[in-house]
Every structure is written in structure tokens, then in C-alpha cells.
Amino acid sequence: MSDVPLSAQLINLCAAAILLLAFAMLAQRRVLQLIDLFALQGFALFLSTLIVAVKTGQTHLYFSAALTLALKVAVLPLILRRLVQRLHVKGEVEPLINIPTTMLVGIMLVVVAFNVALPIAQLSATITRGTLGIALATVMLAFLMMITRKKAITQVVGFLAMENGLFLAATSATYGMPMVVELGIALDVLIGVIILGVFFFQIRDQFDSLDIHHLERLKDH
Amino acid sequence: MSVAGILGQLFALVLALLLAPLLTGWVNQCRAWLQNRSAPPLWQPYYTLHKLFNKDVVLADGASSLFRVAPFVVFGAMALACAIVPSLSTDLPFAPAADALALVGVFGLARLFISLAAMDVGTAFGSLGGRREMLVGFLAEPALLMVIFTVAMIANSTSVAAIVATLAHRDFVIYPSLAFAGVAFTMVSLAENARVPVDNPATHLELTMIHEAMILEYSGRHLALIEWAASLKLYAYSCLGLAFFFPWGIAERDNLLALAAAVPLLILKLAIGGFLLALIETVNAKMRIFRAPEFLGTAFMLAVLGLLVRLLLETRV
């Protein structure tokens, strides 16, 4: 272990923090705290991207780190908090499965993700390839959060956390995607959240609730 | 086994016995400050112990010998735990007697005796507290074991002294798995030491107490021993946490100068740890007892996650 350079150790630490926060999000019952955790996860992602950028000296990674900081730590949580306030989403999020069971399923997912990522990580030559498994696990956990939550707003947070995981995979396995792709994804996520925000109001107007279960009974009249 | 080693061991044990009530007093004082109350004096636990040792013991009618033996067993187990955990030096002649797993067993023994003694007298509160204690204990133990496995895998040994020697005296390496283990360990020690999210050490409100419910029937020197043992438990857990996660400054074998430097460093670390504990207790509200399984389940998950991260990130395949 001591033959691994310090920068790789720090990246591993950031990756571990991202996974830890993914689990904390899975266990979190309150919407506002969930958004705080999401912002924190974004910050860990920013740190890891920054370390990769400093280590490899690739200019476009600095841009994506800055983009992460601006979007995922500042803008998106702000928009989400606004939405929560405007929509008067109160109190606790209602999971479909109770939280301890969700956590157990989460552990299983992490085991699966680590095992699946191991052979893929062997193909990669980068020093931080170990984090590929963590990135995959983060994506899976975000998926799990989207599946097990009723409210639309927690599902959007899950969607954004999934994007965090993908981003981590991109920076850790391949030292980042081309600038155009990253800009595109960042813009997509931003637009996505804004559109979903509009959707929230529509859903609420239609059903007086943000519970997406109501959408199952949609019919053409 | 050298003479210096035995002296160091005895010194660590005596220091533990003396410092443990002080640590409890410090935590209480910090809690009072943070909650805008006027703080009790730092020496309050010593005054309490002195007072209790001078009082007569009142025994319940139905009390068996188990009830009388339990405080001594609990106190002995906690003193042993304090002797095994390296607080000042890794040169501990007592350490081979019990590794980290046996340490968990020692804590388990104390828990078993105090719960049995609580049920022994036959009061409603006693058996209620005993049952709750066992509930918390059987959930906390696997999580603690998982934390120990994570740390033991780094050191390739379950001996606490060897783990600390690996972590403190080799090249500095960041272990991400320790982050998980650290969070899990904090949650476990909150539960094990009857601290706020799980139990309130200051309450005598019948519906919420766990630890206090068990010791309601004790008085005099028995109560003093149990109070002292509770302080020792907090001290042992603090030292275990410091040894696993902040081991710098613990002296190596045959190094008297480092041993002398280790004492003020340990007190400083304990003071910071105690303040953080008071902070955690102040910002959190006590959970319902039925939330405790979820809390400790989360601790267990995090410890398992630490183990997995250790396997994935820190071993070169």
C-alpha cells in the first residue's frame, strides 16, 4: 500500500467519502438534509477531480472541477432547496421499503458493483482504477434511492447522485471525458433539473401531491 | 517481558483508574456549557465516588449473591479492558492475554453481569433496563467486531498492540476504509456508553433510561464501583478509538522519552474527544428505543462497507 503515491491515496479517500455520502443519502429521512448531503457529495467529487487535475496537469479537468463546484455544490442544491420551499414539501421522505432493508440491499449492491468492476478496472492503466468499483456502487445506490422513494423530489436527487457516480467513474478510470461531452452533460443535468422542477408543479397541480404513484393511474380520456 | 514494560503497564492502568472519572467530569462540564447550564465542577465524579464509598450498602430483600458480585465483576472487566487497550505505549505485558476479539468478550461479560444483576432483584425497571441493554448490546457487538476486523486486516493481526504499532509507527498511509470504520466505531461507542442518541446518561425518566434503569437498586460502594466502571468503559472506548484512528504519539517499545511525552498528548486527545462527545450529545436528540436497531444497523453496514473498501482499494490484486 505504501508504494501508492499520496495523490492516489487522497483520490481513494475522496471516493470513499462519496460512497459514504451515498449511503448517508440512502439512510436520510428528511428532504432538506438529503439536499445538503448531495451538495457535500458534489464537494467530494470536486476535490477528487481537482486532485486528478493537479496530478495529471490536464487543463480541461480544471474546467470540469470548476463546473462541478459551481453546478453540484452551489446551483443545483440551491434550485432544489427553492423547489422544496415553493412546493411546501414537509417533513420526512416516505420510502417504499423501510430504511434498514434498503441499507441491506445497498450493501448487496456494493458487493456486486465491486465484483463487476474488478475485471474492468484491470483493463484500465490509471493509478486510481480502484475507484471504478466505488463509482459503479454509487450509481447503483442512487438507482436504489430512485426506486425506493415515493416523492418526485427525492427521485431527482437520486438522479443527480447517479450523475455524480458516472462523473467519478469518468475521472477515475480515464482521467475525464472530452470537454465537449462534459459540458454537454453538465448542461443536460441543469436543464433536466429545471424541467423536472416545472414537472413538479404540474404533478402537484394535477394530484395535490408529489407522490408519483398517482402517475400509474393516468388514462387518456 | 521487561521490568520497564511491567512498570509502564501498571502506570497506564493507574492512570486509567485516575483519569476515567475526570474524563466523565469533563464531558459533563462541556455538555453543561454547550447547553447553557452552569457546569458542575470538574472533580464532581470524584466527590460522588467518595461519597458513595462512605455510604452503607442497602440490599433489596430478594437480592442473591449475583447481585453483590456483579459490581466487582463489571469493575474488574472494565479495568482489564483499560489495561489491554494501549493508551500510552504499545509495550504492554498484559496485551497478549487478550486480543481485540477477547476485548469485545470482556465488554460482553460486563454487560451480561450487569443485566443479570438488574433482573435479579425483580423490580420492573431492572428487567426493563436489562432487556434494553441486551438489545443494544447484541446489535452493537457485531458492528464493533466488524470495525475490529477492518483494522485487523490492515495490521494482519488482531492484537490491539500490534494494530497500533502498525498504524502509528510505519509510513503514513491514508486508509479510506478507516473513515468508514471510524464513523461506525463512533456510533457503536455512543450506544455502548449509554450516550445521547441511544440513551441519556443524565435521565431518570422511566420510559427512556437504559443504563440508569439497571442500576437503580444499587447503593453505597456497589453503586460507586458501577459508576467508576462506567467511567472506565468510556475511557477504554475513547482510548480504543484514539488507538485505532489517531494513534500518533503512543510510545514504542523501550522508549521512555516517548512515554513521558505520551501522557500530556493522551490527555489532550481525550480532552478534544470528550468535547466532541459533548457536542454530539448536544446537537442530537435522543431516539426512540425502536430506532436504536436502525442506528446500530447503520453502524454495522458502515463497518462492513469499510471491510469491502479495504478489499477493493487497498489491496493490490
Given this model, what pLDDT does residue B184 score?
Answer: 94
For residue A115, give the chain B residue with the closest CA.
B312
SS3 content of chain B, % helix, strand, coil (to 5): 70, 0, 25
C-alpha cell, A163: 450523475
Task: Find the mean pLDDT for residues A93-106.
Answer: 81
Q: What percent of chain A has pLDDT over 70?
A: 90
Q: What percent of chain B has pLDDT over 90?
A: 51
- How many whole angstroms separate alpha carbon B13 and alpha carbon B53? 21
On whether the CB atoms of residues B170 and A5 are closer than 8 A, the answer is no
| ipTM of this complex prediction, to 2 decimal places | 0.78
Which chain B residues have a beta carbon less than 8 Å from that of A131? Answer: 313
Rounded to a whole number, what is the distance in Å from the CA of A106 to chain B's nearest CA? 9
- How many whole angstroms separate alpha carbon B38 and alpha carbon B56? 31
Task: Find the mean pLDDT for residues B63-67.
Answer: 91
Largest CA distance in chain A: 67
Query: Angle B133-B136-B138 (CA atoms, 0-180°, nearest 5)?
Result: 105
Where along chain B do its domains lie? Answer: 3-313
CB contact under 8 Å between A12 and B173, yes or no, is: no
Where along chain A do its domains lie? Answer: 6-217
C-alpha cell, B291: 430506532
Rounded to a whole number, what is the distance in Å from the CA of A153 to chain B's nearest CA? 24
C-alpha cell, A32: 432538506
Tell me: pLDDT of A82 over 80.
yes
C-alpha cell, B7: 512498570
Given this model, what pLDDT does residue B317 score?
Answer: 44
Report pLDDT digits (tens) over A197-216: 878 777 777 777 777 777 77
Query: Angle A99-A100-A105 (CA atoms, 0-180°, nearest 5)?
Result: 95
Tell me: pLDDT of B89 over 90.
no
Burial class for A117, CB neighbours closer than 10 Å (0-12, 13-18, 19+): buried
Distance of CA B174 to the CA centre of its chain: 25
Q: What are the φ/ψ torsions at residue A128 (nearest 5 degrees)?
A: -100, 25
Measured from the Cβ of residue B303, the count of other Cβ atoms closer than 10 Å reads 27
The chain-wide mean pLDDT, for chain B, equals 88
Q: What is the pTM of this model?
A: 0.88
The DSSP line for A95-130 is: BSS-HHHHHHHHHHHHHHHHHHHHHHHHH--STTTT
Q: Which residue has the cell 486480543?
A: B99
Q: What percent of chain B has pLDDT over 70?
A: 97
Report pLDDT digits (tens) over B90-125: 877 877 777 889 999 999 999 999 999 999 988 888
C-alpha cell, A134: 466505488
Q: Which residues contact B235 (CB under 8 A, 6 or more apart)?
A: B16, B19, B20, B23, B82, B270
Which chain B residues have a beta carbon less than 8 Å from that of A104? Answer: 301
The chain-wide mean pLDDT, for chain A, equals 83
* B93 close contact with A: CB closer than 8 A: no
- How many whole angstroms separate alpha carbon A4 and alpha carbon A7? 8
Rounded to a whole number, what is the distance in Å from the CA of B138 to chain A's nearest CA? 16
Which chain A residues have a beta carbon less than 8 Å from that of B170? Answer: 2
For chain A, first and last CA: distance in Å? 65
